[in-house]
Structure 1
């Protein structure tokens, strides 16, 4: 029985994968024109669908809204009972229906046209009523549903979802939407922390920043590292400017080479030209730098190259960035 379940699952996934491949053929001039229409829209993208298409439409509207294209979903049944008042002549209405003949949607098209909103239909049939009545049509047709009865929307809804994502990302790139823009609409939860926190929010500052003069001995630096508890110390010159970094890793190398920790100056064993950061850098960006360079900590410097902050992976973990 277990093998039967797995065999069915593989067949479903293969069918839906084929449906996605079929969408390449539908990416034509109509798709480009629809994206351009939405990009230039000064109102909102109103997504309309019912049943399974409605569920997919809700997700498409949410994805558009979170990636820089203001959008919301309207149920066609509610539209017929007052929600059409949400639509203005400055909007673009995206109608979703696999058959293209959904009565609840077709019946409100004349009213939408009278309002003056642009219409884009996303259907599985270019000759359907919705496709014919709309200003532009995006085909989402599939050759086969994953449902063996050919009744339950499966491959067709997967194709619709993928096409919606394609529109959203195409618009995101066309508008030059950035991570900072994304952060403005995602301030909550762990995602918000990853996007909004800067190093100033999470770094150790003031007297908590480990600092050691370049002329100090390794032994003195160890005391600073131990006291501040960050596994490193910034090495500074007479002007307080950063000239290097000494870490737990440097200490291990020193001990391996039997270097005298009492009489050897930091300047002789420190890591010069160490990686630094600005206090306004996003914490997520700092995490990316630390992972790529395989380092456990960062020194934050000001415009005069003086250390004003320090952080390590544990700080990012506590802040919910990692």
Structure 2
């Protein structure tokens, strides 16, 4: 009887595993294709590439594209090794943590950009050039990479510098991560994420109060000393939608990590709620291209880019160009 119960549990675990991996592969395709379309659209339209907000959008799309291209395959391998109780599985979860942190840093940059554009519209037009926006993106992505990988870099340094009871590299790394790395992740990454979310919500609250005041002034009299551009207001609405979506997708994972008291409390394949939380945080990278398409201009440019991509990969009809 016990053997039958174990076989049934094993079968259910395999079924959940296959469903979870299928969902991840579908997410990987949608994320890579959607964000590649965003990058291609910005690249082929010089008018977009010269606007800072679209440069920041392309930077976020690049991080999301990398999540689909590297983060999800790495996560799949990590989950498979976790099933085998392989201590090396910890290495494969690092890219996702780093890329999520980089996404958060890009959202902070976009929030600061929107705050500056609404608070100082005239100075913004002069100061925020395309070249300066590219430099800011590079700085923010480097900072996000360093913060996201801080716990793992400390663990690697501890493996090299400190003695350990284990001979295997993976076992030594896991031991050092339990002792040193997890504390850094808990206090730096989790608390920084909470602080960043609070700061972004406060900034957007201020932005919309100011925008509402501007609309009232605009309705009462024509012409103000510091008029807010309509394009900036629309861009701010899109950005705040992206931020709220990110918070909704990240919140369950943040609560889970905050509750966990040790790195050993990992998601296993028989724990559906835990796996759904993992899918939810990755789905944020898939949703961003759809949020951008709410803008009619961007949606039109999407269609043009798709037409160009299809024409590039279009197969010639039989009987044409058969010179040989």
TM-score in same-fold range (> 0.5): no
Query: TM-score if structure 1 supplies the norm length?
Result: 0.22
More helix by share: 2
What is the TM-score with the length of structure 2 in the denominator? 0.22
Larger CA Rg, structure 1 vs 2: 1
**More strand as a share of residues:** 1
